[in-house]
């Protein structure tokens, strides 16, 4: 069972989020001004983001294209990532591509089923046709993806994928460049913390994928780039049991929600991680659950082909065959479905993508998916939008995007959904304890381990730690 999710609009199914405070290097010194707000393409100066399409990466969760620093093809307890494929329902072949073996059972919650259920963010009751299909993904053993690999990137890589995979990179760096190589921001944009004190940190989501996050510090020595192992030496603890929600447009006053934090089954052992509090909709794809196929096309190119053969052939008259590599393969008829083109017709595919059937009709040879239409092992995409039995909606709660329910209870009525396209207009602010470290220059890494997909997001910021105000009396 393998299904590659192919982006059509905005972020598609790529998780996308970033640290906001302290400001990360990947923000490229941008702030949430008119050039970063969604709809910026209609402003006189246009958008800062040129990745993909102008204005595509916008809003609170992607200031300065900071949400484009991550890694795909990462699995719990696997030291390496494949940097290809955003797969739903991972298979052993996906593990092989990442250079690892089948991961051990998930460690989230330290082996306590009740704790694990409380911390899970996706398919938490195992109601999917494919049972516990997120078991290999990073959040199921927080911090272990990339474990023991000195090359794992603690500040993400630009576009999250290697250059053969067609993900747009952030401006200013080539695709697959390391986030650790980004230049520092102007000193005026950097933060100063007190050793032994408290500090505010925050992040936001551009497109949701469940999971959870952690903050870590690494001492900057002025020479080599920081490593994941360096950040793992100093994971930060959360100072409170709440998260403050701040709407950046001031549309409502800040308020707090209860936070769910764990140090059981995490890496490094005992490090604190906090659950992403924003539930997606209650089906495998996480949005448009129970809807018609045409409702999905706005976000994902995964719908069944509904055009008649005659209409499709009419469209083919103005199209030519385009070859794609296996990692780019889609399933929608005529779109990224051919691995080798021929020259007999204007649209002529000789070799279809895996799992598709070649059809030779008149003046065209193309590829279709002729699997059964119902949800089954042989037709996984028909399972995407099947709602789970439990809704987790609070009494009277209405979430327009999620009419069938949520993955787990939300912290507030509007705090739910996929968030695709910069629709989350809020930051999630936590208070962390600053260790009693020597004064000096440090780097802070925010790491988000996803549960729906095998992805890890990162942002890194420069922090000056000043000496504590406490004095020692002899």
Residue 392 lies in a domain: no
Phi, psi of 160 (to 5 degrees): 75, 0
356 and 436 both lie in a single domain: no
79 and 187 both lie in a single domain: yes
User: What integer pLDDT is reported at residue 9 of this predicted model?
Assistant: 28
Looking at 372, 406, 423, the residue that finishes a domain is 372
- Reading the block at residue 219, the tokens are 């001492």
Using the predicted structure, report yes or no on whether residue 243 has a pLDDT greater than 70: yes
Residue 9 lies in a domain: yes
Per residue in 157-210, pLDDT (tens digit) is 999 999 888 788 998 899 999 999 999 999 888 999 999 999 999 999 999 999
User: What integer pLDDT is reported at residue 93 of this predicted model?
Assistant: 93
- Reading the block at residue 141, the tokens are 């053993």
Residue 15 lies in a domain: yes
Q: Residue 203's closest CA among 71, 29, 66?
A: 66
Cα gap 336→210, rounded to integer Å: 28
63 and 151 both lie in a single domain: yes
330 and 225 both lie in a single domain: no
Looking at 322, 357, 372, the residue that finishes a domain is 372
User: What integer pLDDT is reported at residue 314 of this predicted model?
Assistant: 55
Q: Residue 24's closest CA among 240, 147, 204, 196?
A: 204
User: What integer pLDDT is reported at residue 423 of this predicted model?
Assistant: 84
pLDDT band, residue 295 (cuts 50/70/90):
very low
316 and 226 both lie in a single domain: no
Reported as type and span, the H/E element at residue 313 is: helix 309-316
Residue 331 lies in a domain: yes
User: What integer pLDDT is reported at residue 98 of this predicted model?
Assistant: 95
Say what percent of the chain tops pLDDT 70. Answer: 89
Sign of CA dihedral 200, 432, 202, 159: positive
312 and 432 both lie in a single domain: no
57 and 194 both lie in a single domain: yes
pLDDT band, residue 298 (cuts 50/70/90):
very low
Per residue in 400-409, pLDDT (tens digit) is 989 999 999 9
Residue 399 lies in a domain: no
Say if CB 275 and CB 469 are below 8 A apart: no
Say if CB 340 and CB 323 are below 8 A apart: yes
Q: Residue 206's closest CA among 391, 448, 399, 406?
A: 448
pLDDT band, residue 5 (cuts 50/70/90):
very low
Per residue in 131-140, pLDDT (tens digit) is 999 999 999 9
Say what percent of the chain tops pLDDT 90. Answer: 64
Per residue in 382-422, pLDDT (tens digit) is 899 999 999 999 999 999 989 999 999 999 999 999 987 67
How many distinct structural domains can be found in the chain? Answer: 2
Domain carrying residue 34: 3-242+414-466
What three-state secondary structure class fits 116? Answer: helix
Using the predicted structure, report yes or no on whether residue 450 has a pLDDT greater than 60: yes
| Residue 57 vs residues 38, 53, 169: alpha-carbon distances, Å | 8, 8, 11
Residue 382 lies in a domain: no
pLDDT higher for 333 or 150?
Answer: 150
Q: How far apart are the first and last CA of the chain?
A: 68
User: What integer pLDDT is reported at residue 352 of this predicted model?
Assistant: 94
Looking at 372, 388, 405, the residue that finishes a domain is 372
Least confident of 27-31, 152-156, 387-391: 27-31
Per residue in 301-339, pLDDT (tens digit) is 332 333 444 555 555 555 678 899 988 888 777 788 999
- pTM for the whole thing? 0.83
Using the predicted structure, report yes or no on whether residue 64 has a pLDDT greater than 60: yes
21 and 78 both lie in a single domain: yes
312 and 444 both lie in a single domain: no
User: What integer pLDDT is reported at residue 315 of this predicted model?
Assistant: 54
User: What integer pLDDT is reported at residue 335 of this predicted model?
Assistant: 81
Residue 403 lies in a domain: no
Task: Give the mean model confidence (pLDDT) for residues 260-279.
Answer: 98
pLDDT band, residue 10 (cuts 50/70/90):
very low
If you average pLDDT over every residue of the chain, what do you get? 87
221 and 330 both lie in a single domain: no
Residue 79 lies in a domain: yes
pLDDT band, residue 296 (cuts 50/70/90):
very low
Cα gap 428→430, rounded to integer Å: 7
Using the predicted structure, report yes or no on whether residue 94 has a pLDDT greater than 70: yes
49 and 168 both lie in a single domain: yes
195 and 317 both lie in a single domain: no
pLDDT higher for 302 or 244?
Answer: 244
Using the predicted structure, report yes or no on whether residue 363 has a pLDDT greater than 70: yes
Say if CB 418 and CB 5 are below 8 A apart: no
């Amino acid at each position: 069972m393998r299904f590659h999710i192919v982006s059509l609009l905005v972020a598609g199914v790529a998780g996308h989020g970033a640290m906001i405070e302290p400001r990360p290097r990947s923000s490229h010194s941008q702030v949430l001004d008119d050039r970063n707000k969604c709809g910026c393409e209609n402003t006189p100066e246009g958008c800062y983001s040129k990745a993909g399409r102008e204005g595509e990466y916008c809003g609170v969760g992607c200031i300065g294209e900071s949400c484009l620093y991550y890694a795909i093809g990462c699995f719990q307890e696997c030291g390496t990532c494949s940097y290809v494929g955003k797969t739903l329902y991972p298979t052993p072949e996906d593990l092989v591509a990442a250079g690892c073996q089948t991961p051990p059972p998930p460690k989230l919650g330290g082996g306590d089923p009740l704790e694990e259920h409380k911390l899970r963010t996706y398919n938490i009751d195992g109601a999917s046709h494919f049972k516990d299909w997120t078991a290999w993904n990073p959040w199921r053993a927080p911090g272990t993806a990339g474990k023991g690999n000195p090359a794992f990137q603690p500040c993400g890589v630009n576009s999250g994928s290697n250059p053969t995979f067609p993900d747009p990179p952030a401006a200013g760096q080539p695709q697959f460049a390391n986030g650790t190589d980004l230049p520092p921001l102007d000193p005026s944009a950097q933060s100063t913390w007190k050793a032994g004190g408290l500090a505010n940190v925050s992040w936001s989501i551009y497109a949701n994928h469940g999971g959870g996050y952690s903050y870590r510090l690494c001492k900057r020595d002025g020479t080599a780039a920081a490593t994941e192992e360096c950040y793992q030496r100093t994971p930060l603890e959360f100072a409170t049991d709440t998260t403050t929600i701040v709407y950046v447009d001031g549309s409502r006053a800040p308020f707090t929600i209860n936070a769910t934090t764990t140090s059981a089954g995490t890496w490094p052992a005992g490090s604190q991680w906090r659950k992403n509090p924003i539930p997606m909709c209650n089906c495998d794809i996480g949005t448009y659950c129970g809807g018609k196929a045409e409702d999905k096309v706005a976000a994902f190119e995964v719908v069944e082909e509904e055009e008649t053969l005659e209409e499709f052939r009419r469209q083919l008259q103005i199209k030519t065959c385009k070859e794609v590599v296996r990692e780019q393969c889609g399933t929608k008829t005529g779109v990224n479905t051919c691995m080798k083109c021929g020259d007999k017709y204007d649209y002529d595919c000789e070799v279809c993508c895996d799992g598709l059937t070649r059809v030779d009709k008149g003046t065209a040879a193309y590829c279709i998916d002729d699997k059964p239409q119902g949800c089954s092992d042989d037709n996984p995409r028909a399972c995407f939008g099947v709602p789970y039995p439990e809704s987790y909606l609070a009494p009277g709660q209405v979430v327009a995007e999620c009419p069938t329910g949520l993955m787990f209870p939300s912290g507030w009525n509007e705090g739910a959904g996929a968030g695709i396209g910069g629709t989350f207009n809020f930051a999630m602010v936590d208070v962390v304890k600053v260790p009693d470290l020597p004064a000096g220059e440090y780097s802070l890494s925010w790491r988000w381990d996803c549960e729906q997909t095998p992805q890890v997001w990162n942002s890194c910021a420069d922090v000056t730690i000043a000496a504590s105000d406490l004095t020692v009396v002899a």
